[in-house]
A = this chain, B = another copy of it.
Amino acid sequence: MILRALIVSLLAVGTIAAPPAMSADEPIQPIEAHKPKNENMVELGKMLFFDPRLSKSGFISCNSCHNLSMGGSDNLPTSIGHKWHQGPISAPTVLNSSLNLAQFWDGRAKDLKDQAGGPIANPGEMGFSHALAVDVLRSIPEYRARFKQAFGSDQIDIGKVTDAIAAFEETLVTPDSRFDKWLKGDKTALTQTELEGYKLFKESGCASCHNGPAVGGASYQKMGVHEPYKTASKVEGRFSVTGKDADRFMFKVPTLRNVELTYPYFHDGAAPTLEDAVNTMGRLQLGRKFTKDENAKIVAFLKTLTGKQPEFKLPVLPPSTNETPRPKPFE
């Protein structure tokens, strides 16, 4: 009897504590808001993220290609860099990027700090150098004061610059999507069509790569499993980092959070719409042709992944001084 009572009460506890679809049972977990450890560093990082003086031209900031008004991306197939250089790849969203196993499509940067230095010194992106970017910041008294506040020292170096940018980027998570509300127990948060789309997403195999809180970002996978991916892009993915043949066309699985906002899709930006992207993924990765109705349901589900966008005041940047090196936009 004692044993039976124990089992019953355990079951009851189980029933109360576990609504039908707890995120523990699901391949996707909710995004949680980020609590920054160092507010001064976040504020400084936000200023740096918006400051075009980190580019040779004085025209391109992090926000140019990771536009926080537009889902943290530029919504272009491939990005525009210094002197209108056409980039080789589609800019991934910065939103929720702290959840990725590594940064860039090929994972060549181990974290956000490692990533942040890349575009500044890339001749086809911001076209500058770390030394010159640091010279600009050192010449501006308000920046020196803010580095002092954030780091306890006004000695500016590229390590502190990328630390601050990464600290800001870590705040760019997007909780409270309708899907997350549903995951957390609000069964009215999704429509029947959206739920059917989610079921299809799981059953047809999308969730085997697109899972976790970011609905992606957790593994590298080959682009083109059941048939090769046809593209004009010369980018070879993870192969360019490891040099291993097995890594050819392996790319980091992109997050599907806010995917409604981050068109066009794939590393080459070749899929202009979610419908295109779902069809291509089904065919190439799962060997499956979705019907129009199935496609529409999956797309409806994907649009429930749009979370609360980061909300903050546009930063006001301190002016250059007579000592600040001037931008060279046409060199």
**Segment among A14-22, A78-86, A210-218, A282-290 that sits at the interface with chain B:** A78-86
Q: Are A320 and B75 in contact (CB under 8 A)?
A: yes
Confirm or deny: A191 has a beta carbon within 8 angstroms of a beta carbon on chain B: no
A258 to B326, CA, bound (A): 19
A327 to B167, CA, bound (A): 32
Confirm or deny: A311 has a beta carbon within 8 angstroms of a beta carbon on chain B: yes
Confirm or deny: A52 has a beta carbon within 8 angstroms of a beta carbon on chain B: yes
- Residue in B closest to A258 when the chains form the complex, CB atoms: B319
Number of interface residues of A (CB under 8 A): 42
Q: Mark A312-323, 1 if CB is under 8 A from B, else 0.
A: 111111011010
Known contacts: A84-B83, A263-B319, A309-B316. The answer to whether A75 contacts B50 by CB under 8 A is no
Confirm or deny: A261 has a beta carbon within 8 angstroms of a beta carbon on chain B: yes
Q: Mark A59-98, 1 if CB is under 8 A from B, else 0.
A: 1000010011111001110001001101000000000000
- Residue in B closest to A316 when the chains form the complex, CB atoms: B309
Jot down 13 A-B pairs with beta carbons below 8 A, ordered by A.
A57-B76, A58-B76, A59-B76, A69-B316, A71-B319, A75-B327, A76-B327, A86-B329, A86-B330, A264-B326, A275-B322, A311-B316, A312-B314
